[in-house]
Amino acid sequence: MYWTLELAAKLEDAPWPASKEELIDFAIRSGAPLEVIENLQDLEDEGEIYESIEDIWPDYPSKDDFFFNEDEY
């Protein structure tokens, strides 16, 4: 399983919090690339509810990780 910013971005509009099955269903309905669906299928399923993409990919960068001043744009 591997994530990139481009793949993770496909889940930004997902119905958080969500189960593994709900995320897979969302990815299929939204036309996400096959890699996203495969990554979600590789998650261990213990009936866990995911609150955000950070629960799936802990290294997902937050807005604080980018160095730009939003007031300038």
Per the structure, the count of domains in the chain is 1
| Residue 69 resides in a domain | no
pLDDT tier at 71, thresholds 50, 70, 90: low
- Across the chain, what does the average pLDDT equal? 86
35 is in which domain, residue-wise?
15-56
Per-residue pLDDT tens digits for 40-60: 999 987 888 999 999 998 888
In a domain, 10, yes or no: no
Do the domain assignments include residue 71? no
pLDDT at 11 over 70: yes
For residue 64, tell me if it sits in a domain: no
Q: Is residue 26 part of a domain?
A: yes
Residue 69 pLDDT exceeds 90: no
DSSP 14-70: S-SSEEHHHHHHHHHHHT--HHHHHHHHTS--SS-EE-SHHHH-TT---GGGS---G
- Answer whether residue 3 is part of any domain: no
